[in-house]
Structure 1
């Protein structure tokens, strides 16, 4: 009897632990332990007790999962359970990058065709329009594509 109880408790703990350590391994092992406990219960105590055990185990696991899903966001360690980021930060970043269009900067690395530039003392990922730009060259931001500043050397802009 005690083996069945330990297997059932282990199964419940591992299935609930799956919420804290995602990946499926703990939940899978817990499910296997629950099945083994149910088979042992059927074998040791008969069909009626085995069915009660399976129903009780299913009900308890379902109840624990429901509680974690509904009340889990209020737990003090919720940051490890739920992703709570929003896309507002991404929009602010794009708006900020858009404000750099038309500004001048300096190439911190050689752009072949991508590299790093500095505008007003801050570093940014940048990409030239397919040409190599030497380190230290003054560049102008033309547009934004895929969170990269598209730049052109200031000297080639004056030639056109």
Structure 2
């Protein structure tokens, strides 16, 4: 009798776990189901009855999972955790596209990354040809993430 009470409480907690997040109900329910199997095995005298009981427990778990999933699909929340509204927020830094095609001067050695000065404004830059020394004249040919891609003017 104890085994059946443990089993029913365990099944109920596992069913509730589908609707109440946190895994506490599911863990406790699983422990009670295992305790139910152990209690039944201790009370039973036949191996066949234990096998039948364990099989019935697994079938019951499958049925409970299916019922819970169907119930969740029918009562789908009207609002999800993810917002579908447009939001203003942080925008990752990006290169200044107006600088493409313009010429500038290397402020710090490009190895291949460093800083350049274009029309009085300081930019992070990457050299396509590797090392460029401070003071070299460069042309901005592209942009990548937050850096301008430059080549040396010959």
Normalised by the length of structure 1, the TM-score is 0.49
CA displacement 1:63-93 (0-9 Å, x = unmatched): 1112222342213xx43xx96355531xx33
Q: What's the offset of the Cα at 1:43? A: 1.7
1:93 aligned partner: 87
1:47 aligned partner: 47
CA RMSD of aligned residues (A): 2.6
2:60 aligned partner: 60
The change in CA–CA distance for 1:66 and 1:4 in structure 2 (over 3 A counts) is same
In the aligned structure 2, how far is the partner of 1:32 from the partner of 1:26?
10
Whichever of the two has the greater Rg, that structure is 2
In the aligned structure 1, how far is the partner of 2:84 from the partner of 2:91?
19
Pairing 1:145–2:88 present: no
Ranked by relative contact order (alpha carbons within 8 Å, sequence separation 6 or more), the top structure is: 2
Q: Structure 1: 5+ residue runs without aligned partners? A: 98-143, 147-160
2:5 aligned partner: 6
Q: Structure 2: 5+ residue runs without aligned partners? A: 93-154
In the aligned structure 2, how far is the partner of 1:59 from the partner of 1:33?
16
Retained in 2: the 8 A contact 1:11–1:29?
A: yes
3-state SS of 1:56 partner: helix
In the aligned structure 2, how far is the partner of 1:10 from the partner of 1:36?
11
Question: Where in structure 2 are the equivalents of 1:15-94 lying within 5 Å?
Answer: 15-45=14-44, 46-75=46-75, 78-79=76-77, 84=80, 88-89=84-85, 92-94=86-88
In the aligned structure 1, how far is the partner of 2:27 from the partner of 2:35?
12
In the aligned structure 1, how far is the partner of 2:50 from the partner of 2:31?
16
Normalised by the length of structure 2, the TM-score is 0.51
The change in CA–CA distance for 1:83 and 1:40 in structure 2 (over 3 A counts) is farther
- Which of structure 1's runs of 4+ aligned residues deviate more than 3 A? 85-88
Pairs aligned (count): 92
Retained in 2: the 8 A contact 1:15–1:31?
A: yes
Q: What's the offset of the Cα at 1:36? A: 1.0
